[in-house]
Amino acid sequence: GGHAAGSCTAQQTLTSPTETMIYGIGTDICDIRRIRASFGRHGERFAEKILSGGELAVWRRRSARWPERGLRYLATRFSAKEAFSKAIGTGMSGPMQWQLCEIANRPGGAPQVVLHGALQNWFAERGLRAHISLTDESEYAASFCVVECADETRIQAPGSQP
């Protein structure tokens, strides 16, 4: 198949019928100053709109200790959810709702996408799996998301019904 030179060796190339396929990719960069301004205008309501229940608890703990750390947490979650919405091809509409997409941390600290409600059902019906990476530096938070599908028969146009 067509792949970038050096991206994988012949031994790493999957050829079975259950080969993993990329369903979509998404990236986002978020200006933390804009998050700070939105938070300044809307206060905690802004965080409540963007964050899931679990994320909201983490945000409140971080904000209580160090408000700037809370803003960075909010910015990275905002960015990650935007990247995820692009990777699934729906944008912030349809099954994709801010609070149904949670960016949690594995025990070692690596981020993971945890879905809830109708979004979780939509994702599972398509046999999808997400990988997310987050970063923040001075005034920006950025995220990259890859969504893959293990069964090519499930790949459909984004936003379509199974």
Helix 53-65 and helix 67-88: axis angle, to 10°? Answer: 150
Would the pLDDT of 3 be above 70?
Answer: no
Question: 1 falls in which pLDDT band (50, 70, 90)?
Answer: very low
What are the tens digits of pLDDT across the range 51-95?
999 999 999 999 999 999 999 999 999 999 999 999 999 988 889
Residue type at 159 in one-letter notation: G
Task: Look up the pTM and report it.
Answer: 0.82
Contacts of 23 (CB under 8 A, 6+ apart): 87, 88, 89, 126, 128, 147, 148, 149, 155
